[in-house]
Amino acid sequence: MLIGFDIGNTHIVTGIYTKNAKQLTSFRIATNANLTEDQYFSYLKTLSDFKHIDLKKINSVVISSVVPNLTNIFKFLSIKYFDTKPLVINSKIKLPFTFSNKIESPSAMGADRIVDISEAMFKYPDKNEIIIIDFGTATTFEIVKNNTYLGGCILPGVNMSIDALFSKTSKLPKVRFEKPETVLGRNTIEHINTGIYYGAIGQIKELITQYKAHLDSPYIISTGGVGKIISHEIDEIDEYIETLAVDGLYSLYQYNKKI
C-alpha cells in the first residue's frame, strides 16, 4: 500500500492507495509547521482506524511539499513509522513532461505545481495544450504545450485576499467566498462579498485570455480547495478535478518506482 502527502500552505491532503491504484481513503488536515512526526502520525492513525485501514500494510510513501519544514517532518514520519524512504517530488525525478529551456530554475518550482502538471499529462496524453489552475492558498496557473511546460503565474489565493482585507482593516469583517445575490451591495458584507467574488473571477478570466493568445485551443483544468466554487462561474474552465494533486502523487510514484 502507498500513502501520499500533498503538503500545501493551508492543508495537507493525504491519499492511501492499494497497489492497483484503488484509492482506499483521502483526508484533509490543517498544515501546521510546528507539529512533530509523532503528532501527525496520530492524526493518520485515528483517521485510518476509522476507515478500518491497517497502516502497517503501507510500504511506499510519496511526499509533495511546499512547506520545507514539513518536508523533513514527513521524511522522519516515513522512516519512523513506515520504515521506508519516501519519494520526494521535485523537478529532478522522472516526469511526464519537460521544462521549456526558457524556464530559468525548474528546481525552484513548487512540488504541488509539478504534481498538477504531471497528473494532467497522465490523464490527458492526447491533449496538446493544457492550462491548469490550482485554487490553493495561492492560485497558480500552469501552461503546457506538447508535453512542454511553457510557464505560468502565481497570485494570492481567494481566501488569502479575504484574510488580507479583514486583517488590514479595522472595521471590515471576514466573509465567506460565495456568490452575492446582487452586485449592488446593500451593506458592507455584500460589498466585500461582491468585490472578492467578481474580482477573483475577473482575474482568472483575464489570465485565461492572456494565455489563450499564446495557444490554439487549450483544455482548461481547475483544482484546489476553492476551485470547487469558483469553477462553476468561469465557462472557460472545461473540468474541475478535485483530486488532481492526490491522484498525481500515486501516478508519479508509480512512474518513478513501478510499485
Ligand X SMILES: Nc1ncnc2c1ncn2[C@@H]1O[C@H](COP(=O)(O)OP(=O)(O)O)[C@@H](O)[C@H]1O
Ligand Y SMILES: CC(C)(COP(=O)(O)O)[C@@H](O)C(=O)NCCC(=O)O
Active site positions, annotated: 112
- Cα separation, 160 vs 229, in Å, equals 15
From candidates 197, 224, 240, 241, binder to ligand X by CB under 6 A = 224
* Binding of residue 112 to ligand Y (CB under 6 A): yes
From candidates 44, 113, 142, 241, binder to ligand Y by CB under 6 A = 113
* Binding of residue 8 to ligand X (CB under 6 A): yes
From candidates 16, 109, 204, 237, binder to ligand Y by CB under 6 A = 109
- Cα separation, 213 vs 199, in Å, equals 22
DSSP code for 5: E
Q: Is 186 annotated as a binding residue?
A: no
Q: Is 49 annotated as a binding residue?
A: no
* Binding of residue 10 to ligand X (CB under 6 A): yes
Given ligand Y, K ion, ligand X, none, residue 225, with its beta carbon under 5 to 8 Å by kind, binds ligand X
**Could you tell me how many helices (H) and strands (E) the chain has, helices first?**
7, 11
For residue 207, count other CB atoms closer than 10 A to its CB: 17
Residues touching ligand X: how many (CB under 6 A)? 13
Cβ(211)–Cβ(131) under 8 Å? yes
Give me the count of residues in the chain: 259
Q: Which stretch binds K ion (CB under 5 A): 2-10, 48-56, 72-80, 152-160?
A: 2-10
Q: Cell numbers for 55, please give them.
A: 497502516
* Binding of residue 228 to ligand X (CB under 6 A): yes
- Cα separation, 93 vs 28, in Å, equals 26
- Cα separation, 4 vs 246, in Å, equals 7
* Binding of residue 152 to ligand X (CB under 6 A): no
Which position's Cβ is nearest K ion?
Answer: 136
- Cα separation, 156 vs 92, in Å, equals 27
Distance of CA 202 to the CA centre of its chain: 21
* Binding of residue 164 to ligand Y (CB under 6 A): no
* Binding of residue 112 to K ion (CB under 5 A): yes
Q: Is 246 annotated as a binding residue?
A: no
From candidates 20, 54, 108, 170, binder to ligand Y by CB under 6 A = 108
Q: How far is the CB of 179 from ligand Y (least distance, A)?
A: 23
Cβ(220)–Cβ(236) under 8 Å? yes
Cβ(101)–Cβ(202) under 8 Å? no
Residue carrying the nine cell digits 512547506: 67
* Binding of residue 11 to ligand X (CB under 6 A): yes
**3-state SS class at 35:** coil
Q: Which stretch binds ligand X (CB under 6 A): 73-81, 166-174, 220-228, 232-240?
A: 220-228
Contact residues for ligand Y, defined by CB under 6 A: 8-9, 66, 108-110, 112-113, 136-138, 140, 154, 157
Point out the annotated binding site for substrate: 110-113, 188
Q: Which residues bind ligand X (CB under 6 A)?
A: 8-11, 31, 136-137, 157, 159, 224-226, 228
